[in-house]
Amino acid sequence: MHLNNFRNPELIKKIVTELQGWKKPVKFMEVCGSHTMAIGHWGIRKLLPKSISLISGPGCPVCVTPSSVIDSLIDLKDVTIATFGDLVRVPGNKGTLEQARAKGLDVRMIYSPMEALEMAKEKETVFVGIGFETTIPGIAYTILEASRQNLKNFSVLPAFKLVPPALDALLSAKDTNFDGFILPGHVSVIIGADAYNLLPEKFGIGGVVTGFEPLDILIGIEKLTNQIKNNEPKIENEYSRVVSSSGNLQAQKIIDKVLQVEDALWRGLGWIPMSGLGIRKDFEEFDAIMKYGVEITDTEKQTGCRCGDVLKGKIIPSECPLFGKACLPNNPIGPCMVSSEGSCAAYYKYER
């Protein structure tokens, strides 16, 4: 289907007109950072009635990476640190990787983890394994390739995060309240729409997997309002042109071969049971945590940044006292202002 079909002004106007009639106050969380950017870019919040609130969630990989990961990387000596670009500006307790690079730390930004394998042929290399289910299969495959090539100079610092356990933790908390979820399209390509069945089954709350075009998102919102109107919470797949119910089984096999589920620390959310992935014993020679004795600890320097509350959906970015003042895109205090998928960055660019 042509992309313009998902930007059709007449269809958009039709759904917006229908949604304008919605009176009951509801709060929907868009889990994915790419959805937050798309919602801002297309001005979707401005099209909705005041009764429908869209709240950003913990769907930005670098935003939920704890400070101790950054600090551990800064402490490494005589290695090349290979990472995706956004992470270099994320503040830890000891500063950023960008600042450490200015002092001599060998930090290189790459676009594919396979690039790190080539670096490892020249020098000891640590790839920073961050991301959700979307990027995890490619990193797991890189570990398999490193094993095949017997590359002793390569390792991965695993800081992977899984989306469904995070939603479970959010809904289990007593201080959060949501009426439905706009579920991430890219993540769902890997794990499938059925991975979210815990939402209606455990919490009685529905969700819709959507794409990232304006019509995708508006259809998702309309479906959520219909679920509430009919008292029928369920998981619906608006993004069926890309997402299946069971996901990408081959990618799942690669993940399961190399990685295992374990508890994980999320910046702003704390430790969440079984919400991350560590490297299996069969591949522990490529595990930077084991190789360098890295400790992941819940120690965050107090800066006044309320990124944690933004990630939980307790506040919107503009309610943080630092937003747009001390915390700016060129001077980010917290990670939500750093990443192109960060809620604060999106609000600063589109919602001010």
CA distance readout (Å), 184 to 35, 190, 191: 7, 11, 10
The CATH number assigned to the domain with range 67-162+250-292 reads 3.40.50.11740
Same fold, 3-19+26-55+164-237 and 67-162+250-292: yes
Which whole number is the average pLDDT over 101-119?
96
Looking at the predicted structure, is the pLDDT value of residue 340 above 90? no
> How long a stretch of residues is the chain?
352
- What pLDDT band is residue 352 in, cutting at 50, 70 and 90? confident
Residue 175's pLDDT band, with cuts at 50, 70 and 90, is confident
For helices 343-350 and 33-41, what crossing angle results, to 10°? 0
pLDDT-derived band of residue 2, with 50, 70 and 90 as boundaries? low
pLDDT given at position 174: 81
> What's the rounded mean pLDDT across residues 253-267?
97
What is the rounded CA–CA span in Å between residue 177 and residue 171?
7
Query: What percent of the chain clears pLDDT 90, i.e. is strictly above it?
Result: 92
| CATH code for the structural domain at 3-19+26-55+164-237 | 3.40.50.11750
Domain-wise residue ranges, the chain: 3-19+26-55+164-237, 67-162+250-292
**Tokens 């989306």 -> residue:** 163
Structural contact between residues 20 and 53, judged by C-beta atoms closer than 8 angstroms: no
Q: Give the mean model confidence (pLDDT) for residues 229-256.
A: 98
pLDDT surpasses 80 at 4: no
For residue 1, pLDDT beyond 80: no
**pLDDT single digits (tens) 195-229:** 999 999 999 999 999 999 999 999 999 999 999 99
Confidence of residue 3 (pLDDT cuts 50, 70, 90): low
